[in-house]
């Protein structure tokens, strides 16, 4: 993962912006244009709103590209872990998230991120909008039967949403979570699942082993 972080300071708050993680969802621009205005230089001017207004808008950033720092503790996770499937785009994760590499090392702790599922991101495992360049198509629907929790999973500590990146394979998800999409009712689960990262699974968003056939690298 690449980082490209810029800081914008006011008296009571500092906004941090990671250009590599931004996919231009524009929630910040739509909801607080006095602070976030791409036509101005600098495009982020935190002195034009209160810290509370800024924090509220930053929490709506789906990728975690925007963060804030002030005298209070850093942003805490939402009370319920969420997996949000976007049509023809990434899977958004929200909650108490830990990303582990194939060796089991923690490479990222966060409360919001966008997981690439087209297979073409140059900033894997995070989305960089490559799905638009390749006209990636994937429904926002999911097979709810794959989310039925097992008894073993119920016994685990479910406070964290752990994302284990398999080398050249899927992202294994462990923890308690709720899956959302525009195509189905929310579904709660504690079942370990494998999310497709190669973009070619016939059972999206879940992995079906196709990454081996297409030679996915990640």
Identify the sign of the CA torsion 192, 195, 201, 205: positive
List the domains of the chain with CATH numbers: 5-69 (3.30.70.20), 82-214 (no CATH)
Task: Using a cut of 0.85, tell me whether the model's pTM lies above it.
Answer: yes
Residue labelled with tokens 């930053």:
58
- What span, in angstroms and rounded, lies between the C-alpha atoms of 146 and 133? 30
Peptide bond into 3 cis (omega under 30): no
Angstrom distance (rounded) from CA 109 to CA 118: 23
What pLDDT score was predicted for residue 179?
A: 96
Task: Split the chain (218 residues) into runs of 10 and give each run's mean pLDDT.
Answer: 91 95 97 98 97 96 95 82 97 97 96 98 97 96 84 58 98 96 91 97 97 97
E strand segments, the chain:
5-9, 14-18, 66-69, 82-85, 91-100, 106-115, 161-165, 171-174, 177-181, 184-189, 193-195
In a 3-state reduction of DSSP, which class is residue 83?
A: strand
């Amino acid at each position: 993962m690449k980082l490209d972080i810029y800081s914008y300071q006011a008296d009571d708050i500092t906004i941090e912006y990671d250009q590599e993680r931004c996919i231009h969802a524009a929630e910040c621009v739509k909801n607080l244009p006095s602070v976030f205005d791409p036509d101005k230089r600098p495009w982020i001017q935190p002195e034009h709103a209160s810290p509370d207004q800024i924090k509220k808008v930053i929490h709506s950033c789906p990728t975690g590209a925007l963060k804030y720092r002030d005298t209070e503790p850093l942003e805490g996770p939402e009370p319920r872990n969420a997996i949000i499937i976007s049509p023809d785009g990434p899977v958004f994760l929200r909650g108490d998230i830990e990303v582990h590499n194939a060796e089991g090392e923690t490479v990222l702790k966060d409360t919001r991120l966008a997981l690439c599922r087209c297979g073409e991101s140059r900033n894997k495992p995070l989305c960089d909008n490559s799905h638009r360049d390749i006209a990636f198509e994937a429904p926002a629907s999911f097979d709810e039967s794959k989310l039925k929790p097992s008894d073993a999973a119920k016994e685990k500590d479910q406070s964290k949403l752990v994302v284990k990146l398999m080398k050249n394979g899927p992202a294994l998800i462990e923890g308690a979570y709720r899956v959302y999409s525009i195509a189905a009712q929310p579904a709660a689960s504690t079942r370990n699942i494998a999310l497709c990262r190669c973009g070619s699974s016939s059972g999206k968003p879940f992995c079906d082993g196709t990454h081996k056939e297409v030679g996915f690298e990640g």
